[in-house]
């Protein structure tokens, strides 16, 4: 079954599978959004079933909440628990300092709130998401629909004042209409090619009226678990500097992949 999966999906599964080893009984857990996070939710549900773990989960999107509930996980609102032990989520890019671009799946707002309210954040990714400098992936910025074109112009002016050379800003569409986030906002994708100073850009963008949040996660992620198509995984902890290599048995994913219909 796993042989039919693309190498990228095997890499995502490997990272996801390894990440759930960090989950302990009784934890309050943040569940990320996206294809890698979906593998994690499935791997987590298998562990919960097999070991009878008692977990309280907070989802970062309606999609993740639906999937987690469907798989029998207990999902509550963030305000019911206030603080989480751990959040596991995907990313669109991560740099050597474990700063991230997130929001490719339009869930960056809830993702940032949940990750910030967690003792630790683990990012799970295939190796292609590792970059020397953030920015090849267009940076998602969530804006309110009211006056969004004015907000877009203000963002462009701000990028100009920061000497950002490439500053293409595009409204994200879904079937020809502006994509709406779970909160009803729009997403502007900033194609910047290179982000020299993610901390500065994140702060400046959030000063612009109409901007709700941006997809730069600076100093939020603690651990990255990087998966490869052959099941090899590397765990890197930015706080301790520890790097650990391991291997995930891709055959263990057979149930999960079968559920996906692959
Ligand atoms: O809004 C979506 C999230 O930030 C995702 O975690 C991110 O886009 C990575 O998604 P995927 O695992 O599908 O590449």
102 lines ligand 1 (CB under 6 A): yes
Angle between helices 7-19 and 35-51 (to 10 degrees): 50
Residues 115 and 237 in one domain: yes
Ligand 1 atom closest to 35 (CA): 13
Residues 207 and 90 in one domain: no
For residue 190, the cross-strand partners are 139, 169
- Stretch 131-145: mean pLDDT: 98
CA-to-CA distance for 187 and 215, rounded, in angstroms?
A: 10
214 lines ligand 1 (CB under 6 A): no
Query: How far away, in angstroms, is 149 Cα from ligand 1 center?
Result: 25
Q: What is the pLDDT of residue 225?
A: 98
3-state helix/strand/coil string of 200-245:
HHHHHHHCCCCEEEECEECCCCCEEEEECCCCEEEEEECCCCCEEE
For residue 191, the cross-strand partners are 168
- What CATH number has the domain bearing residue 204? 3.30.70.260
7-60 residue pLDDT tens: 999 999 999 999 999 999 999 999 999 999 999 999 999 999 999 999 999 999
In a domain, 27, yes or no: yes
* Structural domain of 118: 2-129+219-259
Band (256; pLDDT cuts 50, 70, 90): confident
198-233 residue pLDDT tens: 999 999 999 999 999 999 999 999 999 999 999 999
Residues 12 and 114 in one domain: yes
80-105 residue pLDDT tens: 999 999 999 999 999 999 999 999 99
- What CATH number has the domain bearing residue 18? 3.40.50.1360
In a domain, 143, yes or no: yes
Q: What is the pLDDT of residue 1?
A: 45
Query: How far away, in angstroms, is 113 Cα from ligand 1 center?
Result: 15
Residues 72 and 180 in one domain: no
In a domain, 134, yes or no: no
Residues 223 and 195 in one domain: no
Q: What is the pLDDT of residue 261?
A: 55
Q: Is the pLDDT of residue 4 over 90?
A: no
Q: How many independent structural domains does the chain possess?
A: 2
- Stretch 182-208: mean pLDDT: 97
Q: What is the pLDDT of residue 258?
A: 73
In a domain, 87, yes or no: yes
Band (262; pLDDT cuts 50, 70, 90): very low
Give ipTM to 2 decimals: 0.98
CA-to-CA distance for 167 and 100, rounded, in angstroms?
A: 19
Q: What is the pLDDT of residue 2?
A: 46
Residues 150 and 201 in one domain: yes
Residues 112 and 236 in one domain: yes
211 dihedral zone (left: phi>0; alpha: psi -120 to 50; beta)? beta
Length, in residues, of the chain? 262
Q: What is the pLDDT of residue 190?
A: 98
Query: Residue 103: which residues within 8 A CB-CB, separation 6 or more?
Result: 92, 111, 139, 140, 142, 187, 214, 215
CA-to-CA distance for 53 and 40, rounded, in angstroms?
A: 15
- Tell me if residue 4 is catalytic: no
């Amino acid at each position: 079954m796993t042989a039919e999966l693309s190498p990228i999906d095997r890499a995502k599964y490997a990272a996801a599978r390894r990440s759930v080893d960090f989950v302990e009984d009784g934890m309050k857990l943040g569940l990320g959004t996206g294809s890698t996070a979906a593998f994690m939710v499935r791997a987590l549900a298998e562990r919960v079933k097999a070991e009878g773990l008692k977990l309280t989960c907070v989802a970062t999107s309606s999609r993740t909440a639906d999937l987690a509930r469907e798989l029998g996980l207990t999902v509550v609102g963030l305000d019911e628990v206030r603080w989480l032990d751990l959040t596991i989520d995907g990313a669109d890019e991560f740099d050597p300092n474990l700063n991230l671009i997130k929001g490719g799946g339009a869930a960056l707002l809830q993702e940032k709130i949940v990750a910030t309210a967690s003792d630790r954040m683990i990012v799970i990714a295939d190796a292609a998401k590792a970059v020397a400098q953030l920015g090849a992936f267009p940076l998602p910025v969530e804006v309110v629909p009211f006056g969004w074109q004015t907000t877009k112009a203000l963002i462009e002016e701000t990028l100009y004042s920061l000497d950002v050379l490439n500053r293409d800003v595009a409204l994200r569409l879904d079937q020809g209409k502006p994509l709406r986030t779970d909160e009803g906002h729009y997403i502007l994708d900033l194609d910047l090619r290179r982000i020299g100073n993610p901390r500065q850009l994140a702060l400046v963008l959030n000063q612009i009226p109409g901007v709700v949040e941006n997809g730069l996660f600076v100093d939020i992620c603690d651990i990255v678990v990087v998966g490869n198509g052959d099941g090899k995984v590397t765990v890197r902890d930015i706080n301790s500097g520890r790097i650990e290599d391991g291997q995930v048995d891709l055959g263990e994913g057979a149930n999960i992949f079968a559920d996906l219909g692959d």
